[in-house]
Structure 1
Amino acid sequence: MSEPGAQEPRVREPGAHELRARAEKLDAEDALAHKRAEFVLDDAVYLDGNSLGALPAGVPDRVADVVRRQWGELRIRSWDESGWWTAPERIGDRIAPLVGTGPGRIVVGDSTSVNILKALVAAVRMAGEGRDEIVVDATTFPTDGYIAASAARLTGRTLRPVAPSEIPGALGDRTAAVLLNHVDYRTGRLHDLPSLTAAVHGAGALAVWDLCHSAGALPVGLDEHGVDLAVGCTYKYLNGGPGSPAYLYVRADLQSRFDSPLPGWNSHAEPFGMRAGYEPAEGALRGRVGTPDILSMLALEAALDVWRDVSVEAVRAKSLALTDFFLECVEAYVPRGRVESLTPAAHPERGSQVALRCDDAGDVMRRLIERGVVGDFRAPDVLRFGFTPLYVGFADAERAARVLGELLTA
């Protein structure tokens, strides 16, 4: 697929008929196929759930109830009677099993960026004096890098960008905290959370993980692997809606030491005491800041209903099967040398997206969307296709690759 050279016939072995037949068989055998009916979808192949998940069908009525009854009729009584006040930790407990932790360790609220600042500054403070360096994933999403630089300025530390593969050798007595992405947003590469966390701990530092591109797509194992702090968004594989609130995880034994750089009245031990002095609440509640964004938060709570009968392990198995099949279809349909896969072939190194390098990627994605295949483009030359196993099927994967092949052969 990546070798240069003259274009070959558009369909190589296996042929289109065989691939379509296999897709039909795989969809018929798919244990998660019934979940597709729980989303609002159309005839398009939607492969952009790694940017914005599809709308779960149960969300509109639930949001309508929040607006019309809880807000419109109960009004301020809903803070107690409708459970608004406890929503951040209640919804956090629903996210917990999807990332491998238990109740009382996750609080929902604010944006990913704000939660990265909380987690990273708190990690540096817990690391103590004498550790004057923050290490950040050099390939990270830009905002993570911006926030890490700000955290370094706020705490008087030096920021050191390092490629994930080189992090174990870069750690030492100066390292206070390390900020890493579980999955590379450009390439879909899955970084080794267990071994990297162990390396960080071996250096006496704290590990902060960004789970935006892994939560809801694959097992994370926060407790199992001793992750110190983690953050993530909820609008990708968790399907919480545009701008839905993010979440913050603090390991249970670190919660009493968690010193947030953004103490607010919602994280006070007595929030309605209105005292001038700040006293942090116990547990994950320390991660709260201001008044929760109730409308989007309760939309997220409704969206999480689709997970009630689903295991993350089953999602991971289908994700790998989907991305394997899509790559096979791309190999068959796309002229050799026209695209290059940036996504690792090895399962342990792959998230739930496929990234293809293509010289005219921006124009190609525009034309794909016109043909009903929705992925996205990352400058300068990357086509990204996100596979959300709850609603993407094998026929979708085959159709997306076939349309791509037709566009690149024309």
Structure 2
Amino acid sequence: MPDTPTPAVLVYRDRLLAPPEGFVPRQYLAFTELRPVFLGCRRDAGFTDLTHEAAILGALPGVQPWQVPLFRQAGIVPDRLLRWARGHDVRIVHAQFGRGGALALPIARALGVPLVVTFHGGDASKRSHFRRSWPFRTIFQRRWPDLQREASKFLCVSGFVRRLLLERGVREDLLSVHHLGVEMPPMPPATRPRGNRLLCVGRLVPKKGFADAIAALAAARVRGHDVELDVIGDGPLRADLAAAASGHPVRFLGWQQPDQVAAAMAEAMALLVPSRVAASGDAEGLPTVVLEAQARGLPVIATRHAGIPEAVSHDVTGLLAAEGDVAALADAIGRLAGDEHLWQRLRDQALHSVRAEFDAVRQSQRLERRLLALL
């Protein structure tokens, strides 16, 4: 008899796939009993990098252009999409981000399968997502009550995100913490790179706190530490940050490929993650770049923001400061720049911690078990 086809999990991400979102497909790299099939409504640069089958709703044969906005705004699922999903033997829907859950809810409802939603940070923290704005409510606001009632599970990338959703009235039994993982590279060299180059990686948006990174760099240099800063990423604050960095040894490198980011980490003294809650309420969940740096033997200097302390223990696996405390960040930079033994100790203990708690293969296996338990 022929082998029974592997049933599928439909992974919904409305925008497939923005360049910084490699953490989305990484969640499924160790699946063996469920076959990931990706679906979105908008195609982005990372779409061609997906190794699993992926589709854009408007590009499915038989789906008319007018059916896409009807699906998004009114939740009317095209018959062609349902036939496509049933043809793939979809048994469960896993939506990325809260808004993705709201958009995917009608699909799970029409298929009669469980819906799981992963909340990543800003989708739980931004006040505008939950503010009553009748009659001009967003898709998420309109479907939020139904999403809480009908979803099988909300997975939170950190305990911080879980606490936010509890404060918003989500019932406790619906919420579970599931940390994202990172792929473990070969064991990095034990020697410290020459020089004192700091590295920031991420979108140039307020919650990343990169203005504090520039100010901390300047303060550390005033204290006599010969440190420099590379910033990898792009975003709406680039011009403002470049102006703030004028006269300081700061390079803005734009978006880089993963191998280029890895090379920059290999040459840096530390990853600087000065995240802070933005005025809008936007906050991190647990930045995967923290885990990637630890896995590559790069010590982390960060703020006690969101889920970061779940991965970085102060003076054990990294150095932490309060949000917005530029002087404390400068102190941490100076400590690490001037203490070879501290650098080595933080590196070694972070390497052990990240490999034990945040290995992508192990976390992917755990995710598959969670999804299978709902079938």
Taking structure 1 as the reference length, the TM-score comes to 0.27
Taking structure 2 as the reference length, the TM-score comes to 0.29
